[in-house]
Structure 1
Amino acid sequence: MENFFTIIGGMGTLATEAFVHTLNRRTEAHQDQDYLDYIVVNHATIPDRTAYIKDNSLEDPEERIIEDLKLQSQLQPKFFVIPCNTAHYYFEGLQAATEIPILHMPRIAVEAIKERFPESKRIAVLATEGTILTDVYRHELEAQGYECIVPNQALQNKVNDLIYHEVKENKNLNFELYTEILEEVAETMSCEVTILGCTELSCLYEEYNLDDKYNIIDAQAETVGRTLELMEKKK
């Protein structure tokens, strides 16, 4: 292959599957040859990113991701996509390991706010505790002039339950819990836009269309859009 990109996935597997599904669904194609050329690396045994961020005595996932990037770089893809928000805590180290550009999922999500919700300033971020603790989204939001609002512990516990217990452990897209969280963000936290900054939450975004009720920016969906643009397949 010549004009292709590589997905460094498996963090988690269902999220990677959702990225690929969304990508294929949004590609304008009428025959097999119209779809994009890409390689999917589903490295499911990469250590948990949030667990390491909370406890540095555990195995560092960055080293494993760098190994994948170096190996895949030998094939010379056009760019890399890493459908895991928390992994972007390591972005600078990952990009330093390869000359191939890596799409920055949180940055792409924040850039989409201006286009889709230009008057909004108060932005909520729903993500893993690892992503919240590292301020990956806060840095991007504040750099672009937005106010970053993160959940209190009670709400974060609900988000954790949705990500880890419902989606990761049981493959259950819990609609009731998902909408309960979105309602609390919009009403109790008075946020104008909610960023779904976890690819497990992107699975729910893909399954349930709530755009008419809530102002949602899904980081994975926006990264799919950027991928299609770069591959000149934007609808």
Structure 2
Amino acid sequence: MENFFTILGGMGTLATESFIHTLNKRTEAHRDQDYLNYIVVNHATIPDRTEYIKNPSLENPEEKLIDDIKIHSQLSPKFFVVPCNTAHYYFDEMQKATEIPILHMPRIAVDSIGRHFSDAKRVAVLATEGTILTGVYREALEEQGYEAVIPDEELQEKVNRLIYQEVKENRNLNFELYHEILSDVASKMNCEVTILGCTELSVLYDAYDLTKEYNIIDAQAETVHRTLSMMGKNDLLDDN
């Protein structure tokens, strides 16, 4: 197979499925051959990234991530996509393991803010505790002159429950809790934009369109846009 990319997924599986669904939905295609060539690696048994970041005595997922990069680099994809925000804690080491570019989902999300919300200054980040602790979004936002705002303990508990108990454990797309969290950000955090920095939140973003009510940047959706661009395809969302 020529002219393809590799999706290094399974973190979690529903989020990987959502990325693929969004990618295919936004690809301009009139026949089978118009869709993109890609390989999906659903490595579901990679240890939990957030659990390790919070407790380094647990199994470190880095070795398995780097092994996957090395193994699949042998097939010579054009680039890798890693649809897990927290896994970008290991981005530098993964990129050192291959000459093939790896798309950096948090940086892509931050890059897109100006395209959608040119006047934004304060940006809220909703993500796993692991992603928050790594500082990958804070660093990317501050590099571009934005103020990064993270949830307080009460709001983070709601985000954790939505990601882990609702989506990961029970496959429940809890609209009420999702809407409540976005409402809390808008009313209490005084932010112009909210970044959804977890691919489980991206599953909810894809299921419920709240973009007319809230200014949202979904990291997964923006990475889909970048993927289409790099593969020379039009993004059907741009035509709407």
Distance 1:6 1:113 in 2: 26
Partner residue in 1 for 2:146: 146
Deviations 1:166-213 (A, max 9, x none): 000000000000000000001111110000000000000000001100
Secondary structure at 1:148's aligned position in 2? strand
Q: TM-score if structure 1 supplies the norm length?
A: 0.99
Report how far residue 15 of structure 1 moved. 0.2
Partner residue in 2 for 1:207: 207
Partner residue in 2 for 1:160: 160
Deviations 1:60-115 (A, max 9, x none): 10110111110000000000000000000111001001110000000000000011
Structure 1 gaps of 5+ residues are none
Partner residue in 2 for 1:47: 47
Partner residue in 1 for 2:188: 188
Distance 1:62 1:56 in 2: 12
Report how far residue 234 of structure 1 moved. 2.0
- Please state if 1:86 is matched with 2:118: no
Secondary structure at 1:108's aligned position in 2? helix
Residue type of the alignment partner of 2:39: I
Question: Matches of residues 17-28 of structure 1 in structure 2 within 5 Å?
Answer: 17-28=17-28
Deviations 1:204-227 (A, max 9, x none): 000000110000000000000000
Residue type of the alignment partner of 1:48: D
Secondary structure at 1:39's aligned position in 2? strand
- Please state if 1:177 is matched with 2:177: yes
Distance 1:62 1:171 in 2: 26
Distance 1:71 1:133 in 2: 29
- Please state if 1:113 is matched with 2:97: no
Structure 2 gaps of 5+ residues are 236-240
Distance 1:196 1:230 in 2: 22
Residue type of the alignment partner of 1:148: A
Report how far residue 2 of structure 1 moved. 1.0
Secondary structure at 1:154's aligned position in 2? helix
Distance 1:87 1:15 in 2: 13
Distance 2:137 2:19 in 1: 20
Residue type of the alignment partner of 1:121: K
Distance 2:120 2:99 in 1: 36
Question: Matches of residues 5-84 of structure 1 in structure 2 within 5 Å?
Answer: 5-84=5-84
Partner residue in 2 for 1:134: 134
Distance 1:189 1:74 in 2: 46
Secondary structure at 1:101's aligned position in 2? coil
Residue type of the alignment partner of 2:194: T
Percent identity over the alignment is 73
Residue type of the alignment partner of 2:162: L
Distance 2:61 2:135 in 1: 18
Residue type of the alignment partner of 2:16: T
Residue type of the alignment partner of 1:141: L
Deviations 1:111-165 (A, max 9, x none): 0001100001000000000000111100000000000000000000000000000
Distance 1:123 1:17 in 2: 27
Secondary structure at 1:124's aligned position in 2? strand
Which 4+ runs in 1 deviate beyond 3 A? none
Secondary structure at 1:191's aligned position in 2? coil
Distance 1:31 1:62 in 2: 39
